Amino acid sequence: MIDFDAVFAAYEALHAIKHTFGTRGWFPGTSGNVSMRLSSDPPTMMISTSGKDKTVRTASDFLIVRDGMPIGTTHTPSAETAIHEAIYACTDSNAVAHIHTAATTMVSLYDAPHGCTTFAAYEMIKALGIWDPHACVRLPITPNDADVREIAHRLPSVIDDRVPGILLRGHGLYAWGKTIDACKRHVEALESLCTYRLMELRLGGNSLTDPVV
């Protein structure tokens, strides 16, 4: 039997985060997607429908995918559903969001040669659940690929268990959390940290190598 209480709760929570991030312009050009895990066995999630304008609310903005197949819908799930599935399979997260901001996109390009971007000395690191004041957080950057399954296949070996997010090169940020609130907190914290990092690049400083910063 379907747990409609859980379905409607996820539906409202996903609309809320879509609205908040959409209003900020974090889903330009119908980009980006958000999902919540409904069950692990069989793997089931609610995820955004493909190609919808995320600044508008409709009754077909989200659909349910079970075992990789959309169920009870004539709509098509986000093209990046396989990435959400891979994140749920290799983490204990229950919510995933993907945004395309200028800061996350540019950092994903400019720090790609290092395989990660690194944050240090920022209080905002605590919002990731990392409390060590001397923490040097490495957010992995993995190459983009036209074949989403290729990215999904690679994720388990690239994700760092201590860091609830990853950058795809030239593509933006994925972040996740045990709850939709934790997911939202991690997205906002990593977006802020990438904004700081972009400013470091403009100012010629680097928190890793420049002891003054």
**The pair of three-digit structure tokens given for residue 127, joined into one six-digit string:** 């919002």
> What residues between 60 and 99 interact with a second copy by CB under 8 A?
none
Query: What tokens does 207 get?
Result: 């928190």
Q: Quick check: 167 binds a second copy (CB under 8 A)? A: no
Cis ω before 42 (30° cut-off from 0):
yes
Q: Which residue has the tokens 């990853």?
A: 166
165, two tokens: 């997010």
- Closest contact distance (angstroms) between CB of 27 and a second copy is 9
Q: How far is the CB of 200 from a second copy (least distance, A)?
A: 8
Q: Is 155 in the site for a second copy (CB under 8 A)?
A: no
What minimum distance in Å lies between the beta carbon of 129 and a second copy? 11
Count of residues interacting with a second copy (CB under 8 A): 51
- Check residue 9 for interaction with a second copy (CB under 8 A): no
- How far apart CA 201 and CA 136 sit, in angstroms, is 17
DSSP secondary structure letters along the chain:
---HHHHHHHHHHHHHHHHHHHHTT-SGGG--EEEEEEEETTEEEEEEBTT--TTS--TTSEEEEETTEEES-SS-B-TTHHHHHHHHHHS--SEEEEE--HHHHHHHHHTGGGTEEEEES-GGGGGGT---TT-EEEEEEE---SSHHHHHHHHHHH--TTSSEEEETTTEEEEEESSHHHHHHHHHHHHHHHHHHHHHHHHT--TTT-TT-
Among 7, 9, 90, 106, binds a second copy (CB under 8 A): 106
Nearer CB in complex with a second copy: 28/70: 28
100 binds a second copy (CB under 8 A): yes
Q: Write down the least CB distance from residue 47 to a second copy, Å.
A: 18
Cβ proximity to a second copy: between 16 and 71 the closer is 16
Task: Kindly write out the interface string for residues 118-147 of this chain, putting x where it contacts a second copy by CB under 8 A and - elsewhere.
Answer: ---xxxx--x---xxx----------xxx-
Smallest gap from residue 206 Cβ to a second copy (A): 12
> Would you count residue 48 as binding a second copy (CB under 8 A)?
no
Instruction: Provide the binding-site residues for a second copy, judged by CB under 8 A.
Output: 20, 24-25, 28-31, 53, 55, 100, 102, 105-106, 109-110, 112-113, 121-124, 127, 131-133, 144-146, 168-172, 181, 184-186, 188-189, 191-192, 195-196, 198-199, 201-203, 205, 212-213
